[in-house]
Amino acid sequence: MHMTPEPSFRASVDLMFKRATQFMNLSPGLEEKIRVCNSTYTVRFGVRLRGKIETFTGYRSVHSEHMEPVKGGIRFATNVNQDEVEALAALMTYKCALVGTPFGGSKGGLSIDPRAWEEHELEQITRRFAYELIKRDLIHPAQNVPAPDMGTGEREMAWIADQYQRMNTTDINHRACVTGKPLNSGGIRGRVEATGRGVQYALHEFFRHPADLARAGLQGGLEGKRVIVQGLGNVGYHAAKFLSEEDGAKVIAVIERDGAVIDERGLDIQALKEWVTQNGGVKGYPGTSYVEAGAEVLEHACDILIPAALEGVIHKGNAARIRAPLIIEAANGPVTYGADEILRAKGTIVIPDLYANAGGVTVSYFEWVKNLSHMRFGRMQRRAEEAHSRMLVEELERLSADRGLGWELRPDFKERFLTGSDELALVRSGLDDTMRTTYQAMRAIWHGRPEVGDLRTAAYVFAIDRVARTYRSKGL
């Protein structure tokens, strides 16, 4: 795909790691221990399908067990391979450490084209893959907890959860063996939207710091900002939807598998998503101009570029031509190490993947805790909270009436104030807090240690330091 040779994905992540550790005081031994991938399990299994045995290859890589369980999604895609799974597992270690979810890093993948199989066939394949991993404790509530990733979603997680339960009938915590489940299998409200929501919260926080905005040559708020999104999957769709519908940003182009559609007035993301679902691509979406060579649209002028699809899409071959002053990495690894150096040199601000897309694993953490507590968040306190609010409202109304003050609370204020936090509100609150505080920790390093130079390196410095502390406290 690229004209200029570049290191592999895993090597690219290692180079980013090394760029950060040069600013840290780690012993070479500890640095190496943190960097390397602990283990990668490869399994080849057969499933009888359409009258013959089909062999599939799957992986589960564990990058770091400094905390357990280890966490990370399972990807279904044809190009899944060991190098990629290991890179993604390493990113999970740094991501979890950065946002403070108490997990080590892992990732899984199955080399498969999910579109090539019927639902019942996919179920058989998924259950068989899960069986192989469960047998080896590579899916386990206390040891390794997968989640959705590219090509997988709630449906696959429900199959995996059920498979685990069948094989561990007396494990009272069986539901915590995987996250991203549908609600009726022990999922949590807000998990599906979580990664896209996290991207939105990350941008909100970035825009709260005029000094950071200025570094990107931007000013003002998100309203009217021109956004280009690559990938209208779960992450890209939700990010684009929230930014356009709630923040007034204009999504001027969406790049998909079959090309890109452009509308400078701003696309209706909901309508476009429905079009893509029905037609299998963006081509032909009314009222827009279509570009078959979608990747070229990454280079179009805009304020914010959101790669939300594959790794390596911004590479040495196109990095110099990227015009967006701000890139937020909703995908894992969309910018190669070589491209990152080019972008840094020309002053492009990159909000890095390990932070930008951490909303998914953050809400996975909430789901895992919910499963272990066996209770929905808010169940105990919601009505108590409402009763407290009601006391205040009634007291204000009494005061007003007794003293003839004629005060009247706005009905919408009253309604909102009297509504206690349900699970979704609590999940969003926890996610927002995580995205805000993590950004502040990153920017403190970015601004406080000029030699570090950029947000990505700052994120790595912060994350690696946390992992190192855990190792040291264990006496390593």
Binding residues for ligand GLU, rule: CB under 6 A, are 71-73, 147, 149, 179, 332, 357, 360-361, 364
- Strands 326-328 and 349-351, sheet pairing: parallel
| Residue among 94, 355, 425 at smallest CA distance from 202 | 355
Dist CA 258 CA 38 (whole Å): 38
CB of 71 to ligand GLU, least distance (A): 4
* Smallest distance from ligand GLU to CB 72, Å: 5
Q: Which is nearer to ligand GLU, 332 or 457 (CB)?
A: 332
CB of 330 to ligand GLU, least distance (A): 10
Please report how close the Cβ of residue 154 comes to ligand GLU at its closest, in angstroms: 12
Residue nearest to ligand GLU (CB): 73
Q: In 3D, which of 449, 364, 423, 426 has the Cα closest to residue 96?
A: 364
Separation of CA 172 from chain center: 29
Shortest Å, Cβ 379 to ligand GLU:
23
Report the SS3 class of residue 64.
strand
In the complex with ligand GLU, the residue whose CB is nearer, 109 or 378, is 109
**Strands 250-256 and 104-111, bridge-based pairing:** unpaired
Question: For ligand GLU, which is the closer residue by CB, 364 or 371?
Answer: 364
Print burial letters for 260-290: b (CB count within 10 Å at least 16), e (below 16). bbbbeeebbbeebbebbeeeebbbebeebee
Q: How many Cα neighbours within 13 Å face the side chain of 205?
A: 23
**Contact yes or no for 150/334 (Cβ under 8 A):** no
Say if residues 476 and 33 touch (Cβ distance below 8 Å). yes
Task: Tell me the closest approach of the beta carbon of residue 107 to ligand GLU, in angstroms.
Answer: 7
HSE-CB at 65 with a 13 A cutoff on CA atoms is 9
**Nearer of residues 272 and 308 to ligand GLU, judged by Cβ:** 308
Instruction: Say if CB 187 and CB 181 are below 8 A apart.
Output: yes
Question: Which helix (H) or strand (E) element contains residue 427?
Answer: helix 423-448
Active site positions, annotated: 107
Q: Which CB sits closer to ligand GLU, 89 or 272? A: 89
CB of residue 384 vs ligand GLU: minimum separation in angstroms?
Answer: 31
Cα–Cα distance, 160 to 125 (Å, whole number): 11
Residue closer to ligand GLU, measured from CB, 253 or 358: 358
* CA–CA distance, 216 with 350 (Å, rounded to integer): 9
CB of 179 or CB of 434, closer to ligand GLU: 179
Q: For residues 230 and 306, is the Cβ–Cβ distance under 8 A?
A: yes
